[in-house]
Structure 1
Amino acid sequence: MKKSIAKALFNSHSYAEYRKLITDLLKVDKSTGNEQSPELTNYSLLNETRMNRLEKTLQIPEENVVKLNALKYDYIWLVLSEGWCGDAAQLLPVFDKMTAASDGKIEMRIVLRDENEELMNMFLTNKGKAIPKLIVINKETSGALAHWGPRPKGASDLIAAYKKEHGVLDEQAKTDLQLWYLHDKGMTSQDEIIWMMLDLDKEVE
């Protein structure tokens, strides 16, 4: 696994570089990923707007800043993503604000799912390549300690319930999911990830 992580990190992007990559591709009507279609490009365009809004409005409460600053060890968050992914557009700005609030304890690096299939296959969700997937890495040893994603529990429960009732995940499901994220304001994701990090911090030697 360390070899796959090292390879991914070597080809990874900062959050700013990831945003620029998506923007540059949209200028030529493209999205990230192996598959290209007008639908995926449109999703990327919608996500660009969402991320711009979230970067301006998202807040990390002071109590969460204190918890992030209390981490004893240094970590890398290696995130598998793609520009067309609606969940990634909602969550990567949260991750970015959290790393900025961590006082240097956490660094985020982003890689594209389709360019890192070997790594993605190590972190499947119900045998699927669901993204975003946040992999927590010990900065000193480069070992993977835990992973989180592709959604916070409330969002996952919403999608599971919708699929159970309707049998499919259609555009209405996507709309309902985006509304959930809008009302949640990134708080559930922050709470889940911070508790994961605090637990890991106790275990790191």
Structure 2
Amino acid sequence: MNTPVLPALFAAGNLNATYSYDTYMELMETVVRENRTTGPKQSPDYAAYTRLNLARMQRLNKTAVLDEDTIQLVNIIQSPQKWFVLTEAWCGDAAQCVPVIAKIAAVNPAISLTLMLRDENPEVMNQYLTNGGKSIPKLIVLDQDGNERFTWGPRPAGAQLIYDDYKQNPGRPFSELTEDLQRWYNADKTHSIQRELCEGIKKSL
């Protein structure tokens, strides 16, 4: 990959609303306690999604187990990498994926993980659109020189098929999509995201 990025784009002073994983979890707890979400769009539905997402993340923090192959590969990384994740508290796919990304990053101290809110970092988001849309979560991995090593997101390929099918059938209630995705994530047990991130890591070595 080795695609140069604008050094200023990810400079600490130019990023807004950035968090470690622990402080992001604290943010989730805060907005749920205040019956709201992150970002400019506030509604009872978004607050409800956020409350559900916090519960999912807390569960994954306790139950998600990394595959041995994943751990071995991540430990091969020697040169420092910076992992940036664009996310928001209301995003269901982020709730399923970000805890796994955080567990993988925590394996190797060469990896630093920074979470950032999508809507407060439009310059970054606009550089990493998916089919022209601001889909999240979005992981961007840079090396110590600021070169892009790989990107991933917004969801594993199996979940993307479910999402694409929903988009091709207008008129279906949104609740059907969320239920189908939840069943898929539950059955997959994080194996797909681990496998896909390992494919990216191999390219970064």
Flag whether TM exceeds 0.5 (same fold).
yes
Could you tell me how far 1:143 is from its partner in structure 2? 2.9
Within the candidate set 158, 161, 181, 1:157 is matched to 161
Q: Distance in 1 between matches of 2:68 and 2:174?
A: 38
Please name the residue that 2:146 is paired with: 142
Per mean C-alpha deviation after superposition, the further-off stretch among 36-45 and 2-11 is: 2-11
Within the candidate set 42, 49, 54, 2:48 is matched to 42
Please name the residue that 1:59 is paired with: 65
Q: Deviations over 1:22-79 (max 9, x none)?
A: 1112222111111111110100000011011111110001221111101232211100
Q: Distance in 2 between matches of 1:43 and 1:191?
A: 27
How large is the Cα RMSD of the aligned pairs? 1.6
Please name the residue that 1:3 is paired with: 8
How many residue pairs end up in the alignment? Answer: 199
* Matched residue type, 2:164: A
Q: Any idea what SS the aligned residue of 2:180 has?
A: helix
Q: How does 1:178-193 map to 2 (within 5 A)?
A: 178-193=182-197
Q: Any idea what SS the aligned residue of 1:104 has?
A: coil
Q: Any idea what SS the aligned residue of 1:97 has?
A: helix
Contact 1:71 1:198 in 2 (8 A): no
Please name the residue that 2:3 is paired with: none
Which segments of 5 or more consecutive residues in structure 1 lack a partner in the other structure? none
* Matched residue type, 1:146: F
4+ aligned runs moved over 3 Å, structure 1:
7-11, 165-169
Please name the residue that 1:198 is paired with: 202
Q: Deviations over 1:121-148 (max 9, x none)?
A: 000001000000000011x212333211
Contact 1:137 1:145 in 2 (8 A): yes
State yes or no: 1:125 paired with 2:168: no
Please name the residue that 1:173 is paired with: 177
Please name the residue that 2:91 is paired with: 85
When normalised by structure 1's length, the TM-score is 0.91
Q: Distance in 2 between matches of 1:11 and 1:174?
A: 27
Contact 1:22 1:83 in 2 (8 A): yes
What percentage of residue pairs aligned between the two structures are identical? Answer: 38
Q: Distance in 1 between matches of 2:55 and 2:83?
A: 24
* Matched residue type, 1:117: P
Q: Any idea what SS the aligned residue of 1:107 has?
A: strand
Within the candidate set 97, 111, 114, 1:109 is matched to 114
* Matched residue type, 2:186: L
Which segments of 5 or more consecutive residues in structure 2 lack a partner in the other structure? 1-5
Could you tell me how far 1:166 is from its partner in structure 2? 4.5
